[in-house]
Amino acid sequence: MVVGIHRKTYAKIDLNAIKHNIKVEKAQMTNEQNLFAVVKANAYGHGIVEVAKAAHEVGVDGYCVAIIDEALALRKAGLNELILVLGVNSFEYASLMAKNNISTAVGDIDFLKKAQVLLCEQKQRLSVHLALDTGMGRIGFRTQEALCEAVDFMKQHTSEFNFEGIFTHFSTADSGKKEAVNYYEQQINGFNELLSSIEELPKYVHVANSAASIWHKECGGNTIRFGITMYGLNPSGGELDIPTGFRPALSLLSEVVAIKKIKKGNSVGYGKTYTAKEDEWIATVPIGYADGWLRSMQGFKILIADNFCEIVGRVCMDQIMVRVPSKVLIGTTVTLIGRQEQKEIKAQDVADQAGTIHYEVICLISERVPRIY
Ligand SMILES: *Cc1c(COP(=O)(O)O)cnc(C)c1O
């Protein structure tokens, strides 16, 4: 991957905001609760190693990632806390995970049976968090019978398995609508019912994502998987309020690389979708859909010289054109996400324009965009 270090388009990451957000979350947790920092997908686009190290500095009990390679990147960076891969993995990698002290989610007995053979051969022990599917319909055990079979199997093979955790994931913890709350409650009840079939609970019982930790404090478990709100964003988008104090960590910045006056009737961009209604100043900014700045951002207003200025014409792969009220200098700062003086563009504003959620907006900022800390 080629990173654009000689182009002044970058994501500015405020690691102090990340640390601050963890502290805010921890302040409202009990002493018995643990916090896992969710750093999957390059820490939601913020940079996995840098974010994990910042989290380490303020103290977290572990990290959650989505895939094994993300876990390996953390181990390579020298982080020694627990690392849980939230996705299910092929049994072929059981030995690799055990060797690197990586814990894995397990959602079916088949994995355990096949992994046991390999682990026994290698004289290795793998830490397992059993995933329970209580309504997400994604991964995990759905019945007491299937769950008990897995727990019993691990009990018979304690040399190969460390039963370290058990968890579920909510699909509607981020909404206050009646149906969503009912479904959340259904999931909690399902989880407790499944749990009641287990004699001895593992060390980590975890159900809460950011949303549940904020709006369903009673949800139970002893560990929070803290994701989007660690990055300062509201899990519900804008539907529910989050407590004040969380600060967004990411800004997306660029600068003007060209400025020209076009005449009334001149067009801008591919497909000639924009035609000037009068003589207008058009600035060019070096960011495009290859950077994760989607084509649906045409028409959105970004900040240049403290003005909200409209993106006109189609978003190109590497550049956008913006109508500015008057001539600006080459090199003028452009804020696509973040603050400029008193004005702010939130990741949520970008998501609203693109018809998506801010999770997607920040994850999609491509690797070509350097992260500056
Ligand atoms: C991504 C993820 C989280 C974190 O969710 P946020 O909404 O970002 O807090 C927690 N648990 C699981 C299983 C996940 O996949």
Q: Output the CA 221–ligand 1 centroid distance in Å.
A: 15
What pLDDT score was predicted for residue 347? 98
The 3-class secondary structure across the chain, one letter per residue, is: CCCCCCCCCEEEECHHHHHHHHHHHHHCCCCCCEEEEECHHHHHCCCHHHHHHHHHHHCCCEEEECCHHHHHHHHHCCCCCEEEEEEECCHHHHHHHHHCCCEEEECCHHHHHHHHHHHHHHCCCEEEEEEECCCCCCCCECCHHHHHHHHHHHHHCCCCEEEEEEEECCCCCCCCCHHHHHHHHHHHHHHHHHHCCCCCCCCEEEEECHHHHHHCHHHCCCEEEECHHHHCCCCCCCCCCCCCCCCCCEEEEEECCEEEEECCCCEECHHHCEECCCCEEEEEECCCHHHCCCHHHCCCEEEECCEEEEEECCCCCCCEEEEECCCCCCCCEEEEEEEECCEEECHHHHHHHHCCCHHHHHHCCCCCCCEEC
Instruction: Give the phi and the psi of residue 149 in degrees, each rounded to 5.
Output: -60, -45
What pLDDT score was predicted for residue 103? 98
What pLDDT score was predicted for residue 86? 98
Q: Output the CA 114–ligand 1 centroid distance in Å.
A: 28
Residue to probe by mutation, ligand 1, list 225, 226, 229, 361, most atoms within 8 Å of CB: 225
Q: Are residues 190 and 261 in the same domain?
A: no
Q: Are residues 162 and 81 in the same domain?
A: yes
HSE on the CB side for 203, CA within 13 Å? 10
The DSSP bridge partners found for residue 324 are 281
- Domain membership flag for residue 13: no
> Look-up: residue for tokens 């051969």?
121
- Domain membership flag for residue 82: yes
Torsion of CA 177, 346, 136, 107, to 10 degrees: -150
Helix axes 109-122, 144-156, angle to 10 degrees: 10
Find out whether 138 is annotated in a ligand binding site.
yes
Q: Output the CA 103–ligand 1 centroid distance in Å.
A: 16
- CATH number of the CATH domain containing 152: 3.20.20.10
Find out whether 371 is annotated in a ligand binding site.
no
Q: Are residues 176 and 223 in the same domain?
A: yes
- For residues 65 and 74, is the Cβ–Cβ distance under 8 A? yes
- Domain membership flag for residue 304: yes
Instruction: Give the phi and the psi of residue 204 in degrees, each rounded to 5.
Output: -110, 120
Q: Are residues 277 and 333 in the same domain?
A: yes
- Domain membership flag for residue 152: yes
Which atom of ligand 1 is the closest one to the Cα of 229? 9
Which atom of ligand 1 is the closest one to the Cα of 169? 13
> Look-up: residue for tokens 């189609």?
314
CA-CA distance, 125 to 228, in Å (whole number)?
32
Q: Output the CA 244–ligand 1 centroid distance in Å.
A: 21
Pocket of ligand 1 (CB under 6 A): 38, 40, 86, 169, 209-211, 225, 227-228, 235
CA angle 61, 64, 69 (to 5 degrees): 125
Give the rounded distance of the alpha carbon of 318 from its chain centre.
24
Residue to probe by mutation, ligand 1, list 34, 85, 86, most atoms within 8 Å of CB: 86
pTM: 0.97
Per-residue pLDDT of 10-47, as tens digits, reads 999 999 999 999 999 999 999 999 999 999 999 999 99
Q: Are residues 127 and 178 in the same domain?
A: yes
What pLDDT score was predicted for residue 143? 98
**Ligand 1 atom 10, closest CA:** 209
Would residue 40 show up in a list of annotated catalytic residues for this protein?
yes
Catalytic residue among 177, 217, 270, 373: 270
Residue ending a domain, choose from 231, 260, 278? 231
What pLDDT score was predicted for residue 307? 97
Q: Strand 258-262 to strand 301-304: parallel, antiparallel, or no bridges (unpaired)?
A: unpaired
Residue to probe by mutation, ligand 1, list 22, 38, 171, most atoms within 8 Å of CB: 38
pLDDT tens across the length of the chain (373 residues): 899 999 999 999 999 999 999 999 999 999 999 999 999 999 999 999 999 999 999 999 999 999 999 999 999 999 999 999 999 999 999 999 999 999 999 999 999 999 999 999 999 999 999 999 999 999 999 999 999 999 999 999 999 999 999 999 999 999 999 999 999 999 999 999 999 999 999 999 999 999 999 999 999 999 999 999 999 999 999 999 998 899 999 999 999 999 999 999 999 999 999 999 999 999 999 999 999 999 999 999 999 999 999 999 999 999 999 999 999 999 999 999 999 999 999 999 999 999 999 999 999 999 999 999 9
Residue ending a domain, choose from 200, 231, 262? 231
Which atom of ligand 1 is the closest one to the Cα of 228? 8
Would residue 260 show up in a list of annotated catalytic residues for this protein?
no
Q: Are residues 83 and 170 in the same domain?
A: yes
Q: Are residues 294 and 200 in the same domain?
A: no
Residues in the chain: 373
Q: Strand 82-88 to strand 103-106: parallel, antiparallel, or no bridges (unpaired)?
A: parallel
- Domain membership flag for residue 331: yes
CA-CA distance, 97 to 104, in Å (whole number)?
8
Q: Strand 371-372 to strand 258-262: parallel, antiparallel, or no bridges (unpaired)?
A: unpaired
**Ligand 1 atom 4, closest CA:** 227
The DSSP bridge partners found for residue 62 are 36, 82
Q: Are residues 134 and 227 in the same domain?
A: yes
User: Domain total for the chain?
Assistant: 2
- CATH number of the CATH domain containing 273: 2.40.37.10
- Domain membership flag for residue 18: no
Q: Are residues 261 and 206 in the same domain?
A: no
- For residues 39 and 70, is the Cβ–Cβ distance under 8 A? yes
- Domain membership flag for residue 241: no
Q: Are residues 256 and 199 in the same domain?
A: no
Range of the domain at 153: 32-231
Residue ending a domain, choose from 203, 231, 259? 231
Instruction: Give the phi and the psi of residue 56 in degrees, each rounded to 5.
Output: -60, -40
Q: Are residues 77 and 199 in the same domain?
A: yes
Q: Are residues 206 and 293 in the same domain?
A: no
CA-CA distance, 59 to 102, in Å (whole number)?
19
- Domain membership flag for residue 220: yes
What pLDDT score was predicted for residue 92? 98
What pLDDT score was predicted for residue 170? 98
Q: Output the CA 209–ligand 1 centroid distance in Å.
A: 5
CA-CA distance, 355 to 357, in Å (whole number)?
7
Q: Output the CA 225–ligand 1 centroid distance in Å.
A: 6
